[in-house]
A and B are shown apart, each in its own frame.
Chain A
Amino acid sequence: MASARLVRATMVALPSAVCVYRCSSGSNSASALRPAFHRRFVAVSACASAEGSSPAGGFTNNSPQPVSSVRISRKQQRAQSARVVSQQSSTRVTEENAGGSEYEAVIGIETHVQLATATKAFCSCPSQYGSEPNANVCPICMGLPGCLPVLNEKCVEFGVRLGLALHSDIALKSKFDRKQYFYPDLPKGYQISQFDIPIASNGFLEVDLPVECGGGHKRFGITRVHMEEDAGKLIHAGADQLSGSTHSQVDLNRAGVPLLEIVSEPDMRTGLEAAEYAAELQRTVRYLGVGNGNMQEGSMRCDVNISVRPKGRAQFGTKVEIKNMNSFSAMQRAIEYEFERQVQLIDEGEGDKIVQETRLWEEAAQRTTTMRKKEGLADYRYFPEPDLPEVILNEEYIESVRATLPELPNEKRRRYETLGLSMQDILVLTNDIDVAAYFDAVLEKGGDVKMAANWIMGDITAYLKNEKQSITELKLTPPTLAELIGLIKDGTISGKIAKEILPELLESGASAKSIVEKKGLLQISDVATIEKMIDEVLEKNSSQLEAYRGGKTKLQGFFVGQVMKASGGKVNPALMNKLLIEKLNG
């Protein structure tokens, strides 16, 4: 039974950030990598187990849909990638044990999160995704002459909100600056951003690594959180990318959409840690309601900075930036690829070929390629934005925002730990704030912790997945689930009966007790009745009884089954067992 629950639990976890990318080193396309890379994987992948990974580009874990919309199951995943992974994992582990890698990666992440504001950062155009090109534009976000930005105060609130959630110092006085460069998706020729005084700085994010990958609790530093505006989008015609296209079209719907840029300290050492960091950040953003964190739509974009150095050396190697990863698993794979690439160059004495550049992750080819080499440091000629006043906050405001913070993922995990849940279950339950809220509501109504967790991660998740529903749409309310659990616990019904009536509960939303009563499914706990049933069974199976009494005690299970069958599954199993043994032995 325990193992069955585990399977369910991991299935639930799939759409989450927790498990999808955790072991992605052995992707389908691993064969595209040079052999040397495989050898090196061990250095970065703390999770080189036989766990599967997603097929390349197969799915991402960052869809906005809640747990229910699992698109691929752990089983499927395993089946798809087991071939590749299993071949490699053993060698890797061996090499790791042998101390095969003398290098480590130093990884920092810059994350852009689009804010879930109704309107853009500096004008009142709708901030929504997916409109017709240039439907959500106005003179301000088109950068027409004479137009001035007017700050959406929600941006500040969200900035403070995320800053507080990341345990940062909030600047009582911050300001906006102009970051200047020419590009057709940047209507003003500059981006309004925050340069030297970000709204929040000096924070951290706490992560619990997946149990399957060895687990562990990590704290990653946050350098800063700052507010800025997004640029528009270029659509290259005649080709699917700039090169080869005949012309480009500009869609300014995204221009001026508010962003928070979160810059981490270079605290990550493996692709797994980087992906976990990003997943926790996404979770935090969603918990806070400041954004949907959707990587596919580009609502959350992670740029990775990675350098490689010999283990034990303090000095950083040459930093390379990787862009264009639209899932956490892609992030992990990109980092692992890039680490291997750099290590190989160093090993081959070509370390000077690692240059400061921006590389693109190519999902199809599963590799990074040069996008642009940086000639020195880009000079954005930042200067204070004269069109916007400074952002002045007071403690009172900050405290008022703090007061609205929800329980954050890490706080939730710590609390669930005290409830006695396993980290595996905790990670599943806390991954989605709606699931966690459901779980908490069940507990509030007196539901048993472990049972509630199992029901939610098991049957309910399976149901949601089949129905393509989210947990917030569920007709089975937390109080009803708590009631159902209560009925099992006090022996009114058996777990088996509970499972039988669950479909009806899920469909109708009726109370558990009413269904149990209506169907006459109350558990039989009357000693005389049970004894009578046992007597009848023993009578009917006298030969087996004789055999039992002759020493074939294994037949006890047979009798349990017979009594259970006779009762229509309604008999209280514990009581029946006790009485049965008495009778068998008497």
Chain B
Amino acid sequence: MAFRTSALMLPHQVGSGVNWRGQALKLSSKATWAVRSSSSCPSGTVTVGYAQAQERPSSVIRKIREDLENRERSAVNVMEDYLVRLRDREPQVQSFLHISEKALEEAKLLDEKIAQKATIGPLAGVPIAVKDNLCTKDMPSTGGSKILEGYRPPYDATAVRKLREGGAIIVGKTNMDEFGMGSTTEGSAYKVTANPWDVSRVPGGSSGGSAAAVAARQCAGALGSDTGGSIRQPASFCGVVGLKPTYGRVSRSGLMAYASSLDVVGCFGSSVEDVAILLQSIAGHDNSDSTSSTKDVPSFVETLKPVQNFSSKPLAGVKFGLIKETLEDGVDSSVVFAIRSAAQHLESLGAEVIEVELPKFSLGLPAYYVLAASEASSNLSRYDGARYGNRADAQELIPMYGNSRAQGLGAEVKRRILMGTYALSAGYYDAFYKRAQQVRRIIQTDLEVVLSKVDVLLSPVAPTVAYKIGEKTDDPLSMYAGDLMTVNVNLAGLPALVLPCGLAEGGPCGLPVGLQMVGKSFDEGELLRLGHIFEQTAPHWCQNVPPLVQ
């Protein structure tokens, strides 16, 4: 039995499959499984069937650690592997704005330390890419904007510093929509990043460079930032694991602010375990960010058991809520299908999945755009050409400001600054900013209430899979609409994990669909635990290796 993964794969199609232990699995009459026939796709179409069991996603970070400890590979070996792949794939993917010249050198130093039997950090030798809106003192940090072309910060962002303290080696800075404003990475002032699953498509955004770099295995993991979905949507589009932590879990210090009350630093990996290791490293209170939480950081990695230790119903007792409003009209049926399939898989693992209604869910999007634009209009005021970054020539102060910003900032950024300035203006504040704050509270309360009834919420990340480069550049509203499923999570400050849950038709080998799991505040541990179980038991078609890598 074989059929194409597409909108045609409807729940009434009945089939049977294998469960995560390779045992025959009887499917309910409600759904079927879409399974890719093999890891290659010679025909260019996606086929499904019962392929041989593939290797489960496993932690590349742990592997690096083990190899270094066992002296199977040196840090230089590891780094060379990655750098070769990075350079090899970069012409097609264009994930990076800057590639570190020191990565190999740092790996050498690490090898010396290892040779001297010095203690090494948990991330020793792990090649990490960093979104370009996170400050790095040894590399330019532009935030994807011309106005900061060549700007070199005098300090590392806290998340970057913590990674380095853990031994990680920063391989470069990844492309992004200018200052995080966009959903495709086409908003970068420098280059357009391609989706490794189909280089004619966008990787999503704004952390598209980080997601694409991880998907293309140009690095072992990456940092991103998420204001309205900027980690989760590219993770979904690129078929990688992405985590948006609870607001305050990770310090924002050194993150170029877009919308301060919504921005979070998070991470990408090719497995849940990698993401857990990265979060472990960057989480925690930071004296230089007053909005960072003083809550204890639990051990995220400890709860991730190896698959062979799972019980037969590892999710027994866990209650998931599928957000009804995210599976309605306007959402691609292939996306809906993948999510429903994932839900069924969770049920097969012993979990209870119910549908939950959030009638005010759609109010979040306009509220988000008012708030984010308002804060952005303020946060971006500092880019005035007076102290750093590009300054336009002018005889007078006001034209200097005007020209520097006119020339230095891109269209989308200007659009949002204008919207935000308008929303905060005298006479409009109550109608826009204040009202949006009220909506934000409603959304927060609604999500809080529903999360008191279920452990984790499930939804797609975006209504579609990755679309073509250029497809939506002239239609900002339709691009904004794509954020519908992610922005509420930011408005409520909740943590959310995105992991690949299937492929839809499109591209040479199908296009990934991501499953969004939204957890309770500061409950990343539970999200990672559940995500790990899902990932390690998921049917093959959830595997996340793009054609570019195969």
Contact = CB atoms under 8 A, between A and B. Distances in A.
A148 B288 CA distance: 7
Interface in A376-416: 377, 379, 381-383, 386-389
A284 B151 CA distance: 46
Contacts of B134: 146
Nearest to B148: A145
A495 interface: no
Contacts of A382: 424
B254 A182 contact: no
A148 B141 CA distance: 17
Interface in A334-387: 377, 379, 381-383, 386-387
Contacts of B429: 381, 383
A491 interface: no
Nearest to B433: A383
A142 B386 CA distance: 11
A148 B252 contact: yes
A187 interface: yes
A383 B397 contact: no
16 contacts: A145-B151, A145-B153, A146-B157, A146-B256, A148-B289, A148-B290, A150-B288, A178-B378, A180-B381, A182-B401, A184-B397, A187-B387, A381-B425, A383-B433, A387-B260, A388-B290
A377 B426 CA distance: 9
Given A377-B426, A387-B290, A387-B291, A144 B378 contact: no
A182 B421 CA distance: 13
B542 to A, nearest CB: 36
A124 to B, nearest CB: 10
B344 to A, nearest CB: 40
Contacts of B492: none
B382 A187 contact: yes
Contacts of B157: 146
Secondary structure class of chain A's binding surface, majority of residues = loop
Interface string B138-168: 0001010000100101110100000000000
Among A150, A182, A383, chain B packs the most CB atoms within 10 A around the CB of A383
B290 A381 contact: no
A147 B387 CA distance: 14
Secondary structure class of chain B's binding surface, majority of residues = loop
The 8 A-B residue pairs with the shortest CB-CB distance in the complex, in nearest-first order: A189-B381, A386-B260, A386-B261, A381-B424, A146-B254, A145-B256, A379-B426, A143-B382
Given A188-B381, A381-B425, A146 B401 contact: no
Given A187-B387, A381-B425, A386-B260, A147 B378 contact: no
A75 B253 CA distance: 60
Nearest to B143: A145
B536 interface: no
A252 to B, nearest CB: 9
A151 B290 contact: yes
Interface in B525-546: none
A149 interface: yes
Interface of A: 139, 142-151, 178, 180, 182, 184, 187-190, 250, 377, 379, 381-383, 386-389
Nearest to B259: A386
B438 to A, nearest CB: 13
B426 A147 contact: no
A168 B252 CA distance: 36
B290 A389 contact: yes
B255 interface: yes
Contacts of B290: 148-151, 387-389
B187 to A, nearest CB: 17
B255 A146 contact: yes
Nearest to A185: B386
Contacts of B148: 145
Nearest to A142: B387
Interface in B261-306: 261, 287-291
A325 B380 CA distance: 35
Contact of B378 (A142, A145, A189): A189
A381 B429 CA distance: 8
Contact of B155 (A139, A151, A379): A139
Contacts of A139: 153-155
Contacts of A190: 378, 381
Interface residues of B, number: 45
B388 interface: yes
A189 B384 contact: yes
Given A146-B134, A146-B157, 16 more contacts: A139-B155, A145-B148, A145-B382, A146-B135, A146-B254, A146-B255, A147-B254, A189-B384, A379-B425, A381-B377, A381-B378, A381-B424, A386-B259, A386-B261, A387-B291, A389-B291
Given A146-B254, A189-B378, A381 B289 contact: no
A182 B386 CA distance: 10
B424 A145 contact: no
Contacts of A144: 153-154, 387-388
Contacts of A143: 382, 387
A182 B401 CA distance: 9
A151 B401 CA distance: 29
Nearest to B427: A379
Contacts of B226: none
B257 to A, nearest CB: 7
Contact of A180 (B141, B378, B388, B397): B378
A386 B135 CA distance: 20
Contacts of A146: 133-135, 153, 157, 252-257
A190 B380 CA distance: 10
A180 B377 CA distance: 10
Contacts of B382: 143, 145, 187-189
A381 B421 CA distance: 8
Nearest to A388: B290
Nearest to B292: A148
A232 B383 CA distance: 17
B483 interface: no
A190 B257 CA distance: 14
Nearest to B253: A148
Contacts of B380: 189
A182 B385 CA distance: 11
A399 to B, nearest CB: 25
B253 A147 contact: yes
Contacts of B386: 184, 187, 250
Contacts of A188: 381-382
B236 interface: no
B548 to A, nearest CB: 32
B375 interface: yes
A232 to B, nearest CB: 10
Among A142, A148, A387, chain B packs the most CB atoms within 10 A around the CB of A148
A147 B380 CA distance: 12
Contacts of A187: 382, 386-387
A228 to B, nearest CB: 16
B374 interface: yes
A386 B247 CA distance: 12
Contacts of B288: 148, 150
B157 to A, nearest CB: 6
Nearest to A151: B290
Among B141, B287, B290, chain A packs the most CB atoms within 10 A around the CB of B290
Interface in B413-431: 421, 424-426, 429
A381 B153 CA distance: 29
Given A146-B257, A150-B287, A250-B386, A182 B381 contact: yes
Contacts of B388: 144-145
Contacts of B384: 182, 184, 189
Contacts of B141: 145
Contacts of B133: 146
Nearest to A143: B382
Contacts of A184: 384, 386, 397
B460 to A, nearest CB: 28
A383 B374 contact: yes
Contacts of A377: 426
A573 B215 CA distance: 106
Nearest to B155: A139
